[in-house]
Chain A
Amino acid sequence: MNQQQTSSRAAVAVLFILIAAAGLAAGMWLSQQFASAPPAQPPAGLEATYLPEGRQLTEFSLVDHDEAPFTRARLEGRWSFMFFGFTNCPDVCPMALQVMRGVKTQIEGRATPPQVVFVSVDPERDPPATLKEYVGYFDPAFTGVTGELDQIDSLTRQLGILYGYEDPDPETGEYTVNHSAQILLIDPQARMRAVFSTPHDVRAIARDFLEIRDLHQKEG
């Protein structure tokens, strides 16, 4: 038996083992697919905080940057990313909007990207026209939302978003707004499904969204 025969026999053996392993893996995969579906498990490896049942939102009444009503119905039938901030915010808010722009680009071509909603928690300085220009700079498809403070509160409370105003600077009257910095994912049934904490990572958010969306589709 020469060297060449030995190595070709070994190669055949390796090939058989590979085929057997592939068959076993396929069988396991199929049995998983057809087994009576257990309740959806939160997928491992998500960066997001995932809410398996979701948190159902109740009605609220805000306006978008074109002064059209923005109610719960605007969150139904499509996925949404939401972020709460204000336009006099030089660092955190533009970063978050730029992140969501990047996430949208990552998702495009693989799925319909979620709508992006930027809710101002500083309605006094952020009228709809200002918001429209502000969010439109990042992406013309983004939606700026504002409204009466009590209506903003009715939404932020449901989502666990906090905000508060700092005392104005005695010299300039300028004030800053502290606010939760998470990006929220709302499912097409207007349920909060995931929370993305800082620091935000474009690729991780896009990957998590696609995974959560797949899971949602399996739920039927």
Chain B
Amino acid sequence: MPRIASRLFALWATLAGPAFAAPALDVQEAWIAEAPPVARVHAAYMILDNPGDAAVQVVGVSSPNYARVEMHRTVVDEGMARMVRTEAIAVGAGERVVLEPGGMHIMLFEPKERTRVGDQVPLTLELDDGSELDASAEVRQRPSPAQHQPHGHMNH
């Protein structure tokens, strides 16, 4: 039985084509910063690893928990903070892109319900090859940055 099942699976995977190939990106440490209940916008952060040998672009993100999702980059230029909307996040072959506070982030508009620390929020990343990648972002409390180590692990 298991052999037949696995053969059927292999056949189906072959027919399904690239949409079923191993995910082109590895999503790690996806999290959403808990925000005041009154906040209409949230931010999600994550690490995107591309283990493959071709560049991959994230061209869209969606979540059933939010009305709309965009990709943004915070830019501080001569002390002035701006949010720049980006249509795609490119991850080169074998490269890693870190979405983190003060930099690139997923902007989540109009939460449909209150999110609390510990909640898991589903996110779907749309890739430039047409495939979709499901991820789960944990709601966490925003850390207080110290020692210019936004995601470091140095001891002080």
Residues of A within 8 A of B (CB): 87-92, 94-95, 98-99, 101-102, 130, 133-138, 162, 166, 172, 174, 176, 178-182, 197-204
Contacts and interface: CB of A to CB of B under 8 A. Distances in A.
A99 B145 contact: yes
B24 to A, nearest CB: 26
Contacts of A137: 35-38
Interface residues of B, number: 33
Given A90-B43, A90-B105, A91-B105, A134 B36 contact: yes
B144 A99 contact: yes
The 4 residue pairs across chains A and B that have the minimum distance between CB atoms: A102-B144, A137-B36, A90-B43, A181-B81
Interface in B91-143: 101-102, 105, 107-109, 142-143
B65 interface: no
Interface stretch (B1-9, B14-22, B49-57, B72-80): B72-80
Contacts of B102: 91-92, 95, 198-199
A54 B143 CA distance: 32
Given A200-B145, A202-B146, A203-B147, A138 B79 contact: no
Contacts of B35: 90, 94, 137
Interface of B: 33, 35-43, 68, 72, 74, 76, 79-83, 101-102, 105, 107-109, 142-148, 150
Contacts of B41: 88-90
Most A CB contacts (10 A, CB to CB) among B42, B108, B144 go to B144
A14 B81 CA distance: 56
B33 A201 contact: no
B21 to A, nearest CB: 33
Contact of B38 (A87, A162, A172): A87
A197 B33 contact: no
B80 to A, nearest CB: 6
Contacts of B42: 90
29 contacts: A87-B39, A87-B40, A88-B39, A90-B33, A90-B35, A90-B105, A91-B83, A91-B101, A92-B76, A92-B102, A94-B35, A95-B142, A98-B144, A99-B144, A102-B145, A133-B37, A134-B36, A135-B36, A137-B35, A137-B38, A162-B80, A176-B82, A179-B81, A180-B81, A181-B79, A182-B79, A198-B76, A198-B79, A201-B147
